[in-house]
Every structure is written in C-alpha cells, then in structure tokens.
Amino acid sequence: MEALKLLFSSDIGLLSVLTIGGVLVIGICMLQFFKKQAEHDARNAK
C-alpha cells in the first residue's frame, strides 16, 4: 500500500504512471491501425 501512495504522490511516480498510460494508448492505436490495414489489404487481394 505504501508503494501506491508513493507512486501517486511523487513527481517521478506520476510521470511513470503517465508514461505507462501513454504507451498503452499508443499500443492500442497501433493495434487498431494495423488491424484496419490488414482488412483493407485482404479486401484488395481478392
């Protein structure tokens, strides 16, 4: 529990949380983009 308090109360902890969140958002966006491109390529291959 002390670790969570430190994570959300210190500057470095907040930057870490923002970084992890940003990486997750970027990963989700990339996954959606690549999925859409794969579907587009599959439709054009027929």
Q: Where are the alpha helices (DSSP H) in 1-46?
A: 2-9, 11-45
- Confidence grade of residue 27 (pLDDT, cut at 50, 70, 90): very high
Q: Which percentage of the chain shows pLDDT scores above 90?
A: 96
Which CB contacts under 8 angstroms, 24+ apart, belong to 31-40? none
Output the pLDDT for position 45.
86
State the residue range of the domain holding 35: 2-45
Pick from 34, 9, 27, 31: nearest CA to 19: 27
- The model's pTM: 0.77
Residue range 5-19, pLDDT digits in tens: 999 999 999 999 999
Instruction: Please give the tally of structural domains in the chain.
Output: 1
